[in-house]
Structure 1
Amino acid sequence: MTKVSIQQALALRQEGKLHESNRMFCILAEENPNNAVIQSECGGSFDLLGDERAAIPYYEKAISLGLTGEALLDVYVCLGSSYRVLGAYDKAASVLQKGLTIFPDDPALHAFYAITLYNLGEHKEALTRMLTCLTDTSTDPRITAYSQALAFYAKDLDKVWS
């Protein structure tokens, strides 16, 4: 039997062969149950197939195994997003908040958290967070021209000047 490698699975992903890549990652995850990177990549392979429900346990395991750095950041975004698309908004919020305690300046975490807040009915906080994310990260000249005003309004969306 041919030994499966993470490089082969990633190469298949790059080639758009997502099902084949997923099969390889499943084999790797089973053979390497204590490898956080492989667990996160296996979760990602399910996510790319649109099977967020199958991705969640792999993401959770990767976190519990001590995944670090950029890979951990990506897992928090993907796990929170997966819970959100499945309608588990409270779990999504919890995961994204935890991610934000570790990576407080990450715009993707803020954006996904804003979407989740919207789903939870917290529309004002969601729009405030999204506007802040927009003004903090956009390089579009039309946004940057108004970034001070947008940031100012984001602090008090309900204020009316008479």
Structure 2
Amino acid sequence: MNDDVRDGLLAEAVGLRERGRQEEARARLVELAARYPDDAEVAYQTAWAHDVLGLEAEAVPFYGRALDAAAGDGLSPEDRKGALLGLGSTLRILGRYEEAVTTLRGAAEEFPEDGALRTFLAMALFNTGEHHESARLLLRLLAATSDDPSVRRYRRAIEHYAEDLDETV
């Protein structure tokens, strides 16, 4: 099958998902992933199709394939970021908290400007009992990104106390 055929089939499947026909999209993507087992983009879209349907356990191997294939030149940076977030979030939902933290921590280091990665990392840290680190991440993110005037007014204090939530005088 040539690249034009692959591209057309992939576009059709993604279009089905975007139009709310998730089960049909998933079936087509599974077939496409079988034809192109080393294709990072196909694997990523297949993982996403499973996640949308709440089939997290089935999504994990496709995220893995997408990221393994991406070690070369498989995914765009935006799709790599999405695959890392999807994998980390999915691992957390499955109760695989330590793996989620490892995945999301690495992703947040690779894409430090992405607040969603830090947010999902904070959730996974909470699940591992690292409550202080979880709150610290969320407070830093809140202070850096909030448009709320009252939060902006206290930004420096929030950033300061985020470093040591147990600080007293």
Q: TM-score, normalised by structure 1?
A: 0.92
Q: Which of these residues, 39, 43, 54, is aligned with residue 39 of structure 1?
A: 43
- What residue in structure 1 maps to residue 103 of structure 2? 95
Task: Describe how 1:1-162 pairs up with structure 2 within 5 A.
Answer: 5-66=9-70, 67-161=75-169
1:127 is aligned with what amino acid?
Answer: A
Shift of 1:133: 1.2
Whole-angstrom CA distance in 1 between matches of 2:67 and 2:31: 19
Deviations 1:60-117 (CA, angstroms, capped at 9, x unpaired): 1101001340000011111001110111111111111221231122111111111111
Work out the percentage of aligned pairs sharing the same amino acid: 34
Deviations 1:105-153 (CA, angstroms, capped at 9, x unpaired): 2111111111111001111110001111112222233322322221121
Whole-angstrom CA distance in 2 between matches of 1:53 and 1:133: 30
Whole-angstrom CA distance in 2 between matches of 1:38 and 1:48: 15
Q: TM-score, normalised by structure 2?
A: 0.89
Where do 4+ consecutive residues of structure 1 move more than 3 Å?
none
RMSD: 1.6
SS of the aligned residue for 1:5 comes to helix
Whole-angstrom CA distance in 2 between matches of 1:135 and 1:27: 45
Q: Any unmatched runs of 5+ in structure 2?
A: none
Which deviates more from structure 2 when the two are superposed, residues 2-11 or residues 92-101? 2-11
SS of the aligned residue for 2:129 comes to coil
1:32 is aligned with what amino acid?
Answer: Y
Whole-angstrom CA distance in 2 between matches of 1:24 and 1:137: 39
